[in-house]
A = this chain, B = another copy of it.
């Protein structure tokens, strides 16, 4: 079994897309994050949903639960506007903190995939073809299901 056989479609987003579109994609696809591609369509990093929330919720609110409770009264329209006005690039962590995206070639074996997930503590690997285009992704639950059949 090779990576190309296990890969399933996974949502990708360009660094130039607006954050609202990215956040809605996570919501409708039930994903904890998206694969972010550079303008040439090559995978670049991941945008975790928690990073979108980190951008939405001011730092002083994050650190003061009492303020968070008060903040709840505000209209969600404000949150939406903030996301529409910014691109994915704007909300990514600083380059030094960017998550390295776990990537495997289409012909990686299941143990190679497991080794990459284990080393990078990742619940997901992106699978790319020989031109670095994203074929899909493999989740740790899919891989465990294959390695450890019932």
Chain A residues in the interface with B (C-beta under 8 A) = 20, 23-24, 26-33, 48-54, 56-57, 61-63, 65, 68-69, 71-72, 76, 79-80, 83, 109-112, 114-115, 117-124, 139-145, 147-150
Contacts and interface: CB of A to CB of B under 8 A. Distances in A.
A118 to B, nearest CB: 4
Nearest to A49: B140
A122 to B, nearest CB: 6
29 contacts: A27-B141, A28-B145, A28-B150, A32-B140, A32-B141, A33-B123, A48-B140, A49-B123, A50-B118, A50-B120, A50-B123, A51-B121, A52-B140, A52-B144, A53-B114, A53-B117, A53-B140, A56-B147, A57-B111, A57-B114, A57-B118, A61-B115, A62-B118, A62-B119, A68-B114, A69-B112, A79-B148, A80-B148, A83-B148
Number of this chain's copies in the complex: 2
Nearest to A52: B144
A62 B139 contact: no
A150 B48 CA distance: 20
B109 A140 contact: no
A85 to B, nearest CB: 14
Contacts of A49: 117, 123, 140-141, 143-144
